[in-house]
Amino acid sequence: MAALQGRHKQTALNSFFEADMERVFDVKESPEGETSPDAKTKKIEGDAPGDCIDLTQDSPASSSKGNTAETKRKPSEKEDSKLSLITWNVDGLDIEELPERARGLWSYLDSYTPDVVFLQELIPPYVKFLKKRAVSYTLIEGGDKGYFTGMMLKKSRVNLLQSEIVTYPTTQMMRNLLVAQVNFKGQNLCLMTSHFESGKSSAEERMKQLQLVMQRMTEAPDDITVVFGGDTNLRDTEVAKVGLPSGVGDVWERLGKREHCCYTWDTKYNDNKTVSFLARCRFDRIYFRPAAREGVPRLAPDNMALLGLERRDCGRYTSDHWGIYCTFSAG
């Protein structure tokens, strides 16, 4: 049955991508570095979770009252020494207002200038858009057909050593693990992103994928810090069944389980998807395993915030998922 469902999903996706998706991004772009009025975000009072819209605190893009996520400022020396990361399922499969939503993603990347970006549900036209805009990043693709993951590395701060795509043997949804070995300020890091199997019925496959990720994290050399982030679709009960190995931590948990950063797929506030039920889920997660070897800097998470909580001018959010911004400092 699972295999049959997988074939049906694949057939539907193939039909979807037979359409001319280039037209979706066939819009007049602003000159590089400029922000046109239609590319600005607007905040609707009372429209998003009050606890979540906290971009004025502990935010690199909001150093004073009144700043928005699109206001740039020079990072302090302390911030410059940190590793900054964004992970986001951009929902490229939803083509409604996709160009405007893609510009929404870019406004955050351009403002926060993260060292590392993990993206899920990319499609080829979206990648083309990012390559045009994000010239200061190395972009690694986890596929080239249908939908897939991607990783962006800031060229001036993160040096790519090698990358690989690890196949999930029994996936029915074209899912895999994208892995990159990099060097950040003299530290060796292993970066990983993935989009785990979706849906309640895929719990067993999802747990297999989590097990594979945990195995890769624990088997990494002890002089390397490993960071995984992505749309895991995990439920807490599934994580409890698999268990996290010793040394591997959940960033949200390590930072005190802050409620305002908990729900990354939240139909209570995000109405990009029309659903008849209320769902508040922590699908998007970041796991890390610090280097253990003596004398090697040990990165530790020190901040987390949700992104994408403002509506675009088109009336929709950047994605049906909130993005996660996280920073790591060396201990």
Is 231 one of the catalytic residues?
yes
Catalytic residue among 91, 110, 231, 266: 231
b/e burial code for range 84-111 (CB count within 10 A of at least 16 → b): bbbbbbbbbbebebbbbbbbbbbbbbbb
How far is Cα 120 from Cα 328, in angstroms, rounded to an integer? 21
What tokens were used for 256? 């005190």
Q: Which residue has the tokens 């390559």?
A: 131
What tokens were used for 318? 């950047």
Long-range contact pairs involving 40-47 (C-beta distance under 8 Å, separation at least 24): 40/70, 40/107, 40/313, 41/68, 41/69, 41/70, 41/104, 41/107, 41/310, 41/311, 41/312, 41/313, 42/310, 42/311, 42/312, 42/313, 43/68, 43/309, 43/310, 43/311, 44/310, 44/311, 47/269, 47/311
Helix (H) or strand (E) holding 79: helix 77-80
DSSP 188: E
Pick from 122, 97, 51: nearest CA to 269: 51
Which active-site residues does the annotation give? 231
